[in-house]
Chains A and B, each alone.
Chain A
């Protein structure tokens, strides 16, 4: 089975712009979670989608949003980018809501200038 894929792998944006990141889960997995990883804060949970519905949301401002499509693929969007949004954005998939075993993609490295 192919693993979790994320596109693009690297992205450079300027302050005020918006960005959309994409994640394709492992085939058959219906849950997709997004995380932000920074050196100072570590991995922080953004949100989780299951069957096209947001099931959980972390403590991030409304500039961060996401969605999931019927084929379980997911996108996350960040509007009005700030310098502090520079981070590695990780997507993880799991078969369904449950005990939390998740499989991560390689991440998208976002740099905001």
Chain B
């Protein structure tokens, strides 16, 4: 069974601070996705990374896929209260749509 470990589990910061969330596994994934989920809603896809070493930027969010495709990180610059939510990473096995999810990082950004 492939497992994804996310850290930290909880993060409470002030508006304007930077932060990094990590997603680690001992297994190799063909692709890795990051989602954000708000209370009472389903996860919303932020980005998909497929190539080892790949870096993608989405406004103030920077996503990186490890060279060995076993780990990933999400960096947020100058966090805003609207960034508050549960951030989930999910890895896909090659050739399948099945996703293995990490347990998530709950981010709270206070004004």
Using a CB–CB cutoff of 8 Å, the interface residues on chain A facing chain B are 4, 31, 33, 35, 41-45, 48, 50, 55-56, 90, 92, 94, 97-107, 109
**Distance in Å: Cβ of A25 to nearest Cβ of chain B:** 12
Q: Which residue of A lies closest to B1 (CB)?
A: A59
Q: Which residue of A lies closest to B50 (CB)?
A: A99
Among B33, B42, B97, B102, which residue has its beta carbon within 8 angstroms of that of A42?
B102
What is the number of residues of chain B that contact chain A, defined by CB distance less than 8 Å?
26
Alpha-carbon distance between A42 and B35 when the two chains are bound, in angstroms: 13
Using a CB–CB cutoff of 8 Å, the interface residues on chain B facing chain A are 30-31, 33, 35, 40-45, 48, 50, 88, 90, 92-93, 95-104
Known interface pairs A42-B103, A100-B33; A94-B97 also in contact (CB < 8 Å): yes
> When the two chains form their complex, are residues B97 and A98 in contact, meaning their CB atoms are under 8 A apart?
yes
Among B41, B95, B99, B104, which residue has its beta carbon within 8 angstroms of that of A45?
B99
Alpha-carbon distance between A45 and B101 when the two chains are bound, in angstroms: 9
Known interface pairs A33-B97, A42-B104, A99-B30; A107-B42 also in contact (CB < 8 Å): yes
> When the two chains form their complex, are residues A100 and B98 in contact, meaning their CB atoms are under 8 A apart?
yes
